[in-house]
Structure 1
Amino acid sequence: MPENSDINLTPLIDVIFQLLIFFMLASTLIKPNMIELDLPESTSGVKNQEPDLIAITYRLQDGGPVITVNTTPVTDLEALSSSLREFQRPGDETRHRVDIQIDRNVPYQNVISVIDTVRDAGFPRFSLQTLMPSSRPRENP
């Protein structure tokens, strides 16, 4: 081999272009597995309304439980149930969003009792939240 000989890159470039063309053609021939859907168009201009929020707060204050429904205090679980039933209308199960905010010091059995009361009142879907220390009402000095 002569010392000043160069490598001929023409065959390599030809092979690369052939592979490039092959992959471009092969990728367009493969159809992805997708379900074709014809979605209906809306005939009404009514937008979905956000569900109404029902906020239940359960905290321990001065050694006793304090339950509120949308800032309205209730005395016990029966009063909570009757207060929740006021929000319920027939055929209106998904209109309300129930957020249950529980103080971290509340015994777990009481949490289960509140959940059972909410379900029995006709609200099978709810969310649980832990009350943060800053969300507690301040004590008067």
Structure 2
Amino acid sequence: MQFKRQVKAEESINLTPLIDVVFLLLIFFMVSTTFTKETHLKIDLPEAVGDLQPTLVDQIEVVVDAQGGFSVNGRALVNKQLATLQAAIQDIGAADTSVPFIITGDATTPYQTVISVMDLAGQLGFANLSLTTRQPEEADSSIRTQD
């Protein structure tokens, strides 16, 4: 008696549902993700009266936002540590300490943060240091005359 061997069917995993799920997850994450530009810091400058200075091409500008985050020449830094700020200033070319060093701080920035940036600039040898302010608005004048 001859027995006929049964042919085993190939066992395989159907990948179509898996690919569908992956594409649905991809679409979900693309739709739900918000894209923000991290390089811009929102700052509110303090006010001061004086003449405007012309902006120079060769300068180092450090922007300090209200939370104490730093940006050097428009490039936001990854953290709020002074060592990172020092490395960023040295990357820009701090070998020439005669270039103007401009500190732009938000009006609500902690005073200690601005002083720390000024101290760091002094340690690096910058002598031409300036702070940025904005002109006060006439409507915000606190001195009013009464008739």
Taking structure 2 as the reference length, the TM-score comes to 0.46
Question: Could you say which structure has the higher strand fraction?
Answer: 1
Indicate the structure (1 or 2) with the bigger Cα radius of gyration. Answer: 1
Higher relative CO (Cα under 8 Å, sequence separation at least 6) belongs to: 2
Taking structure 1 as the reference length, the TM-score comes to 0.48
